[in-house]
Amino acid sequence: QKEVEQDPGPLSVPEGAIVSLNCTYSNSAFQYFMWYRQYSRKGPELLMYTYSSGNKEDGRFTAQVDKSSKYISLFIRDSQPSDSATYLCAINAGGTSYGKLTFGQGTILTVHP
Amino acid sequence: GAGVSQTPSNKVTEKGKYVELRCDPISGHTALYWYRQSLGQGPEFLIYFQGTGAADDSGLPNDRFFAVRPEGSVSTLKIQRTERGDSAVYLCASSQQGMADTQYFGPGTRLTVL
């Protein structure tokens, strides 16, 4: 079993839809939770960063963490064609492993006009 | 300001050859990371530098892989006796201090081993 599981999709939605992306993880030591967006042939760019259970909102994006269920989510409201990309969840255990991010497989999202 | 840069952007080599991949981090960032991303997968951690020293090299797959950061800035990932399975995108990231702060990624080097 992988430490971080993410449904690869692909996910196709119409413009304006609400998108829900999810990851589960197995290691309860994980403390820091991130969502990255990666366009084709580019490096990942950070969208959201959180270290506690609950919700964090930034514009059209909301990150949700449930440590008791080891489940993290990213919601995109009013999705736009420019949101079409691969979305990667990334988790950091902190402590002595603080330099290492463990990524999910990535979910390919297409928002069509 | 300038982001993380990586050279070359593409590298094609033959099985058994030696390759070097270079990473220029964001100026002032003390921490530097290497990841490998295979097609359809998320990035996989290889090694992390804090300053000049490797703080965690637990992700290097075998002794054909080696990385250096002699002056605490530019880093080079070196792969000896390349194999077809080494074909992937090699990503470099840097962050201000290490710990759990934000990692900024470069565009990657696409390595193809024929």
The DSSP secondary structure of A15-79, one letter per residue, reads: TT--EEEEEEE--TT--EEEEEEE-TTS--EEEEEE-SSEEEEETTEEEEEETTTTEEEEEESS-
Q: What percent of chain B has pLDDT over 90?
A: 89
**Do residue B56 and residue A99 have CB atoms under 8 angstroms apart?**
yes
Cis amide leading into A44 (omega within 30): no
Average pLDDT, rounded, for chain A: 92
Q: Which chain A residues touch B104 with a CB distance below 8 Å?
A: 46
Highest mean pLDDT, choosing among A29-33, A69-73, B98-102: A69-73
Query: Least CA distance to B100: which residue of chain A?
Result: A98
pLDDT tens string A2-19: 899 998 889 999 999 999
- Between A37-51, B11-25, B76-90, the lowest mean confidence (pLDDT) is in A37-51
Q: What percent of chain A has pLDDT over 90?
A: 74
Measured distance CA(B103)–CA(B95) in Å, rounded: 5
- Inter-residue contact A11 to A19 (CB < 8 Å): yes
pLDDT tens string A89-113: 999 877 666 678 999 999 999 999 9
Query: Least CA distance to A89: which residue of chain B?
Result: B42
pLDDT band at A23 (very low <50, low <70, confident <90, very high): very high
- Inter-residue contact A22 to A71 (CB < 8 Å): yes
Query: Least CA distance to A87: which residue of chain B?
Result: B42
Give the closest-approach CA distance of B80 to chain A in angstroms. Answer: 24
- Inter-residue contact A93 to A31 (CB < 8 Å): yes
pLDDT tens string A34-53: 999 999 999 999 999 988 88
Q: Which candidate from B33, B42, B110 shows the least CB-CB separation from A105?
A: B42
Which pLDDT value is given to residue B1?
Answer: 56
Taking the Cβ of residue A25 and every Cβ of chain B, the question of whether any pair is shorter than 8 Å is answered with no
pLDDT tens string B50-79: 999 998 999 999 999 999 999 999 999 999
Average pLDDT, rounded, for chain B: 94
Which pLDDT value is given to residue A97?
Answer: 62
Which pLDDT value is given to residue A30?
Answer: 81
Which pLDDT value is given to residue A96?
Answer: 62
Which pLDDT value is given to residue A27?
Answer: 86
Taking the Cβ of residue A94 and every Cβ of chain B, the question of whether any pair is shorter than 8 Å is answered with yes
B25 has a pLDDT exceeding 90: yes
Which pLDDT value is given to residue B4?
Answer: 97
Q: Which chain B residues touch A85 with a CB distance below 8 Å?
A: none
Taking the Cβ of residue A90 and every Cβ of chain B, the question of whether any pair is shorter than 8 Å is answered with yes
Taking the Cβ of residue A24 and every Cβ of chain B, the question of whether any pair is shorter than 8 Å is answered with no
Which pLDDT value is given to residue A31?
Answer: 82
Taking the Cβ of residue B42 and every Cβ of chain A, the question of whether any pair is shorter than 8 Å is answered with yes
Give the closest-approach CA distance of B45 to chain A in angstroms. Answer: 6
- Matching residue, tokens 């077809």: B84
DSSP per-residue codes, chain B: ----EEE-SEEEE-TT--EEEEEEPPTT--EEEEEEE-TTS--EEEEEEETTEEEE-TT--STTEEEE-TTSS-EEEEE-S--GGG-EEEEEEEESSSTT---EE---EEEEE-
Which pLDDT value is given to residue A53?
Answer: 85
Measured distance CA(B113)–CA(B105) in Å, rounded: 23
Residue closest to B108 by CA, chosen among B86, B93, B96: B93
